[in-house]
Amino acid sequence: MSPSLGSECRPLADSGVDLSLCRPLPPCDREYWSDTVDRVTRRKFLGQISGCGGMLVLSAAGGVGYMSAVEPRRLVLERVDVRVETLPSRLGGFRIVQLSDIHCGPDVRAQDIARAVSMSIDLEPDLVVLTGDYVYQSASYADACAGELAPLARATQALACLGNHDCRRGAVKVAGALTKAGIVVLRNEARCVRDGLWVGGLDDALVGWPNVNRVLRQVPSDATLLVLVHEPDYADVVAATGRVALQLSGHSHGGQVRIPLVGAPVLPILARKYPAGLYDLGQMRLYVNRGVGLTRPAIRFNCRPEVTLITLLSPE
């Protein structure tokens, strides 16, 4: 039986958190990303950004051919150092590779995933984390995606949370495929990855049942805790607990198209406040990965797919 989010959110109400981010969204909003963005045609999308004067810029960059055939495959390694005040000095230099939004499906090929996996393994990280959306529109892609990701789990420990596409199309099937590939799927659960360092994974915030308090109850109070949650804007809820050092998220794809001096004209719900990169939320940091894959319209501009290498630094 699904737990009641109302009761799960009650402790956060006491801390003054904006509960609009913590309760399930009404059906019309839950449909927003898939039904508004996924079904946007290329022509409609280009029409939207043309209102920003973007067409001129896009044309100068080589047009739609570049955006659909070149940039989506220009995978880049982003290196991010995150200083964590609670991190014991013996854990300084702990290295985490983050992959997100694989979206295995008609627009993301096996070799695209394999390239990201190979780049990740070559970095020899202490941990790999995957922050959701393994499939595009159908859980039938879960086995293929998990098969490509399996070398990660053979190389090091690999932890994952689910995303909105996974939960909408078959959370059990996607989680089962990842588990079979040796990847530990965390749905409101936490794991100790090194003495004193824990990682929690929340269920999807748009169409699942995230429960940060359930995660906190599994983690020693003196441990440093990292949290995986697909939707970055859920960070306001996570940060308000005062217990989490770093949240890792995806979901936004960085907007897929970013107009210089304007930004991303289209962003999904729960990725509009924190669309990409590193954010400082007081006690907590948030990193938002732009993703490996993409959704339709299958174009990227000024927003390359990424593999992220995060190095945790202890206080000086």
By CB under 5 A, name the binding residues for Fe ion. Answer: 101, 133
Q: How many CB atoms lie within 10 A of CB 100?
A: 34
**In whole angstroms, how close is the CB of 33 to Fe ion at the nearest point?**
8
Of 187 and 251, nearer to Fe ion (C-beta) is 251
Min. distance of Cβ 253 from Fe ion in angstroms?
6
Nearest approach, Cβ of 46 to Fe ion (angstroms)? 20
Nearer to Fe ion by C-beta: 101 or 189?
101
The whole-angstrom separation of Cα 130 and Cα 304 is 18
Least distance between Fe ion and beta carbon 274 (Å): 15
Characterize the bridge pairing of strands 284-288 and 277-281: antiparallel
Rank residues 38 and 78 by Cβ distance to Fe ion and give the closer one.
38
Residue nearest to Fe ion (CB): 133
CB of 248 to Fe ion, least distance (A): 14
Q: Which residue lies nearer to Fe ion by CB, 189 or 204?
A: 204
Q: What residues contact residue 284 under an 8 Å CB cut-off, 6+ apart?
A: 235, 238, 239, 244, 245, 246, 247
Q: Residues 108, 102: contact at Cβ < 8 Å?
A: yes
CB of 140 to Fe ion, least distance (A): 17
Q: For the CB of residue 308, give the shortest distance to Fe ion in the complex, in Å.
A: 15
DSSP-assigned letters across all residues of 50-95:
HTTTHHHHHHHTTHHHIIIIIGGG--EEEEEEEE-TT--GGGTTEE
> How many CB atoms neighbour CB 285 within 10 A?
22
Q: Which amino acid would we find at residue 229?
A: V
CA distance 289 to 197: 21
185 vs 312 by CB, closer to Fe ion = 185
Q: Residues 232, 267, 115, 122: what is their CA dihedral angle, to the nearest 10 degrees?
A: -30
Q: In this complex, which beta carbon is closest to Fe ion, that of residue 17 or of residue 117?
A: 117
Cβ(290)–Cβ(71) under 8 Å? no
Query: CB of residue 67 vs Fe ion: minimum separation in angstroms?
Result: 18
Count of Cβ atoms closer than 10 Å to residue 114 Cβ: 14
In contact, 284 and 235? CB cutoff 8 Å = yes
**Nearer residue to Fe ion within complex by CB, 101 or 306:** 101
Can you tell me the distance from the alpha carbon of 248 to that of 254, in angstroms, rounded to the nearest whole number? 14
Comparing CB distances to Fe ion, the nearer of 249 and 302 is 249
